[in-house]
């Protein structure tokens, strides 16, 4: 079903990736649960041969994801993975080799540093710089690949994708953007000059906290082919059931992200009013340090709010006192969740730092819950 650019986001997501209408066929075919396909004779050009290479349920989801990340670009292709980390590793490990230099954010998703360590062990020069202030610009010379994560998780800093992509391309480097936090409705890295849009679909994209998924979208078959071959080689494939659940969830992406962004802003504003709360960050807050850059390149500001409470004990009391916000990691789900990031030890954050993922509940209920929990934590 061809993507029509005249349509708004809400219309496009409910139709994304659906096959052409056929009498008596389901609009979104169910998961193809199969390890192999009937495969007579010559195998050259067979679209489906073995379940580690291809699956029609992936194909439909990949069309949908490509339509959303690169509207109107028939050359764009998506490759779906078992998780966001599988997608991230596929780009970095398939593209970069001994003697190459890569530039990673120093404040990106915490497991990115583990991939960086692996690359170092293979003789790759790994450079890092913070997301804020486009600081990665300063370490680009001679790099083969620039990796951006904007907004960054969990600090919510933003860099200028267009500016960094132009500078990287001038130096012959490829550019990948982790688009997990924004989702393709919030930000389109390929239109801003990136070569790869990469994301964890586990978070806001699928939004129900019941699926792990990742994807890579590129416009160029020369870039896409090694990524697909990597998936087949290491077997980092999503299950057909997860792929189908993900595709089904895309239909509500516009509803969810619109509601979550509005709720996040309301919660961020309420947090700011409390004297015990400092450094409230959300790219949608008009005076947030990241707002100007975010407003230039983002269409929606996402569901994550981060802030700092006076200490670890205060943060733990706050989290325990919340009625509507579950203590959990991950983000982007329909149910609000929060956690003290310091409990993992991986992020450079204060002990009282909380990442709150705002769900689709009623804003007034969430604001009241957050206010009440702050009062109880204050004691």
Ligand X SMILES: *Cc1c(COP(=O)(O)O)cnc(C)c1O
- 100 has catalytic annotation: no
Count of other CB atoms within 10 angstroms of residue 282: 28
Q: Is 195 in the site for ligand X (CB under 6 A)?
A: no
Q: Which stretch binds ligand X (CB under 6 A): 56-64, 97-105, 117-125, 175-183?
A: 175-183
Active-site choice (100, 107, 109, 369): 109
What's the chain look like in SS3? CCCCCCCCHHHHHHHCCCCCCCCCCCCCCCCCCCCECCCCCCCCCCCCCECCCCCHHHHHHHHHHHHHHCCCCCCCEEEEECCHHHHHHHHHHHHCCCCCEEEEECCCCCCHHHHHHHHHHCCCEEEEECCHHHHHHHHCCCCCEEEEECCCCCCCCCCCHHHHHHHHHHCCCEEEEECCCCCCCCCCCCCCCCCEEEEECCCCCCCCCCCCCEEEEECCHHHHHHHHHHHHHHCCCCCHHHHHHHHHHHCCHHHHHHHHHHHHHHHHHHHHCCCCCEEEECCCCCCCCCHHHHHHHCCCCCCEEEEECCCHHHHHHHHHHCCCCEECCCCCCCCCEEEEHHHCCCCCCCCCEEEEECCCCCHHHHHHHHHHHHHHHHC
By CB under 6 A, the residues from 197 to 216 that bind ligand X are 200, 202-203, 212, 214
DSSP β-ladder status, 337-340 and 353-357:
antiparallel
Given the residues 203, 219, 300, 341, select the one marked as catalytic: 203
> Among all residues, whose Cβ is closest to ligand X?
84
By the rule CB under 6 A, 260 interacts with ligand X = no
Nearer Cβ to ligand X (200/297): 200
Does residue 252 bind ligand X (CB under 6 A)?
A: no
127 assigned to active site: no
Active-site position among 157, 178, 195, 369: 178
Catalytic residue chosen out of the listed positions 37, 48, 52, 299: 52
The binder of ligand X chosen from 153, 252, 297, 337 (CB under 6 A): 153
If binding is defined by CB under 6 A, does position 243 make contact with ligand X? no
The answer to whether 224 contacts ligand X (rule: CB under 6 A) is no
- Restricted to residues 66-105, the positions that interact with ligand X (CB under 6 A) are 83-85, 88
Asked if 68 contacts 215 with a C-beta cutoff of 8 angstroms, the reply is no
Tokens of 324: 């509507």
Asked if 312 is an active-site residue, the reply is no
Among 180, 249, 252, 336, binds ligand X (CB under 6 A): 180
Residue 52 annotated to the active site = yes
Min separation Cβ 288 and ligand X, Å: 18
- When asked if residue 306 is in the footprint of ligand X (CB under 6 A), the reply is no
C-beta of 153 vs 263, nearer to ligand X: 153
* Pick 17 or 84: Cβ nearer ligand X: 84
- CA within 13 Å, CB half, 347: 23
For the bound state, the minimum distance from the C-beta of residue 310 to ligand X, rounded and expressed in Å, comes to 26
Choosing from 58, 109, 196, 215, the residue that interacts with ligand X (CB under 6 A) is 109
Question: Is the Cβ of residue 83 or residue 337 nearer to ligand X in the bound state?
Answer: 83
- The verdict on 185 binding ligand X (CB under 6 A) reads no
Of 11-19, 61-69, 177-185, 221-229, which part binds ligand X (CB under 6 A)?
177-185
Residues that bind ligand X in the complex, under the rule CB under 6 A = 83-85, 88, 109, 149, 153, 178, 180-181, 200, 202-203, 212, 214
> Which residues are identified as catalytic?
52, 109, 178, 203
């Amino acid at each position: 079903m061809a993507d029509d650019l005249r349509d708004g986001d809400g219309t496009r997501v409910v139709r994304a990736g659906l096959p052409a209408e056929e009498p008596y066929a389901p609009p979104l075919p169910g998961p193809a649960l199969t390890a192999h396909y009937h495969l007579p004779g010559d195998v050259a050009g067979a679209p489906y041969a073995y379940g580690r290479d291809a699956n029609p349920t992936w194909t439909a989801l990949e069309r949908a994801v490509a339509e959303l990340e690169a509207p109107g670009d028939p050359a764009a292709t998506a490759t779906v993975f078992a998780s966001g980390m599988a997608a991230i590793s596929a780009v970095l490990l398939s593209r970069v080799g001994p003697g190459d230099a890569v530039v990673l954010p120093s404040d990106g998703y915490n497991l990115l540093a583990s991939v960086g360590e692996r690359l170092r062990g293979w003789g790759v020069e790994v450079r890092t710089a913070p997301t804020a202030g486009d600081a990665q610009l300063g370490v680009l010379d001679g790099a083969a690949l620039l990796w951006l994560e904007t907004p960054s998780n969990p600090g919510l800093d933003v860099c200028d994708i267009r500016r960094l992509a132009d500078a990287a391309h001038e130096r012959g480097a490829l550019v990948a953007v982790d688009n997990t936090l924004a989702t393709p409705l919030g930000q389109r890295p390929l239109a801003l000059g990136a070569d790869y849009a990469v994301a964890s679909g586990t978070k806001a994209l699928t939004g129900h906290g019941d699926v792990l998924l990742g994807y890579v979208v590129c416009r160029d078959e020369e870039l896409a082919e090694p990524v697909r071959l990597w998936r087949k080689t290491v077997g980092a494939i999503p299950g057909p059931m997860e792929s189908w659940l993900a595709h089904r969830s895309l239909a509500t992406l516009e509803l969810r992200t619109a509601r979550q962004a509005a709720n996040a802003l309301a919660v961020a504003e309420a947090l700011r009013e409390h004297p015990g709360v400092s450094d409230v960050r959300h790219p949608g807050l008009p005076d947030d340090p990241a707002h100007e850059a975010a407003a230039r390149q983002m269409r929606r500001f996402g569901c994550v709010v981060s802030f700092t409470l006076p200490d670890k004990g205060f943060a733990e009391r706050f989290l325990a006192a919340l009625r509507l916000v579950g203590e959990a990691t991950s983000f982007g789900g329909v149910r609000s969740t929060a956690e003290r990031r310091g409990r993992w030890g991986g992020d450079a954050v204060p002990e009282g730092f909380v990442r709150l993922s705002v769900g689709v509940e009623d804003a007034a209920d969430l604001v009241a819950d957050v206010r009440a929990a702050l009062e109880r934590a204050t004691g």
